[in-house]
Amino acid sequence: MDSAEMLNISDGVHFDESITKIEYHSYSPFLSSFDNSDEIRICNQNQNFNILICESFLYIEGTVKKASDNTLSATAKLVNNYPAYLFEEIRYEINGIEIDRVRNVGHTLTLKHYISLNANESKMVLNAGWCPENNIDVSDGNINICLPLKRILGFAEDYMKIIPNVKHELILNRARNDLNAIISPTDDMKFEITKLQWHVPHVQLHDEQKLLLYKFINSNQSIKMSFRSWDMYEYPVLPTTTHQVWAVKSSTRLEKGRFVIFALQTNRRNLKEKDASRFDHANLTDIKVFLNSDVYPYSDLNIDFQNNRYALLYDMYSKFQESYYKTNSQPLLSPLQFKEIAPIALINCSHQMCEIKTGPVDLKIEFKCKSNIKPNTSAYCLILHDRIVEYNPLTNNVKRLENK
């Protein structure tokens, strides 16, 4: 406290009454079918509400049953973060224009949770199906969860302001099957969604704030909404080799990539007894990310998981929260858990040369392993990059901007 504030004894008491009420309204899909491969659309058509998307959440009820006779199973378990593996894609639109999208939802959100959550936050999302310590018992068959949208979409995580005078729509595409969400040694299981709702907070403003908002809208000014989107790429089956170069993405317009998260999985895709929420080190020894000719990290890592030499890789993982959220890093995983559950390569590309920021960019990953990559090994690359959307609440015009 500075001296001026300490001596200002005449200052009165101030209460923030700019918001008079926040009410959660539930929205249901147009159709009641939530089967595999279905497209589920949930829409808020009324444009007179001030919506706070960052605090909205999905409410899901369901049961785990045998696909053959629709009976419950006493042996089935759900993997960590199983709600994400129920969907192949989730996207968010305003006025019919796509704002943000997550593909390969299960692996995207699982990787994002491992690097973003600390121990306390991990406990807070137990109600969202997140349980990295062990699998979730569903012997009684009945499940209900609340899945915050800020844990699903980069837009909801970063943009924490109301969005006035607009139509909102959430589109969810169910996965082709539920094998990545369920572990069952003998039974052919499925996850049957019986209820799905989008709970959205409506914000009611004080009269003074309403007047200010109306003046802003009538001034024909646009709102610039900046956030970081999560873009997942997959190499389904890697060749049997010790040295691999993967041309991940080529773009003439760079939405500035800030972080690249790389992970490997061996023989864990669509198998009944495999946990799809865990990743494998595959004897990785080195990894580099190329943005055109610039390389990250500059020096070789010289990793050796067999001899527990992966401190540099863990150090890169442990610094993510400080770089991304500008807060003290509290990594969720210990070094041993990191090796056993999610040996992730997290590459910080935040600081880039001017040539990269303005011209076409090829993003390429080069990685090496101590021994030949095992059959049925998949590679995943999650890119966290900047995005800017401009919205005019008077004309309802929405467009994505080029980053400068």
- The enclosing domain of 109 has a CATH number of 2.70.9.10
Residue 397 lies in a domain: no
Residue 132 lies in a domain: yes
Q: Could you tell me the residue range of the domain that residue 183 belongs to?
A: 18-223
Final residue belonging to a domain, choices 223, 245, 274: 223
Cα gap 267→375, rounded to integer Å: 8
Residue 90 lies in a domain: yes
Residues 45 and 160 in one domain: yes
Residues 272 and 251 in one domain: yes
Q: Which residues contact 269 (CB under 8 A, 6 or more apart)?
A: 180, 236, 276, 376, 378
State pTM to two decimals: 0.91
Residues 276 and 339 in one domain: yes
- Taking residue 70's Cβ as centre, other Cβ atoms within 10 Å add up to 10
Quick: pLDDT tens for 4-28. 778 887 877 777 788 888 999 999 9
Residues 212 and 283 in one domain: no
Residues 217 and 235 in one domain: no
Final residue belonging to a domain, choices 223, 239, 274: 223
Quick: pLDDT tens for 345-403. 999 988 776 555 556 778 899 999 999 999 999 999 999 988 999 999 988 899 887 65
Residue 119 lies in a domain: yes
Final residue belonging to a domain, choices 195, 223, 251: 223
Q: Which positions of the chain have pLDDT values less than 70? A: 1, 139-140, 186-187, 251-255, 269-273, 353-359, 402-404
Residues 44 and 102 in one domain: yes
Residue 404 lies in a domain: no
Residues 122 and 242 in one domain: no
Domain count along the chain: 2
CB 276 within 8 A of CB 269: yes
The per-residue pLDDT for 402 is 64
Residue 41 lies in a domain: yes
Residues 27 and 164 in one domain: yes
Residue 395 lies in a domain: no
Q: Which residues contact 96 (CB under 8 A, 6 or more apart)?
A: 167, 169
Residues 207 and 322 in one domain: no
Residues 61 and 173 in one domain: yes
Residues 146 and 187 in one domain: yes
Residues 207 and 297 in one domain: no
For position 381, which CATH number holds?
Answer: 2.60.120
Cα gap 356→353, rounded to integer Å: 5
DSSP E strand boundaries for 14-135:
19-27, 39-44, 50-51, 57-66, 77-78, 87-94, 97-103
Cα gap 155→142, rounded to integer Å: 31
Residue 284 lies in a domain: yes
* Residue/partner pairs of 335-342 with CB below 8 Å, 24 or more apart: 335/310, 335/311, 338/310, 338/313, 338/314, 339/281, 339/305, 339/308, 339/310, 341/114, 341/132, 341/278, 341/279, 342/111, 342/114, 342/263, 342/278, 342/279
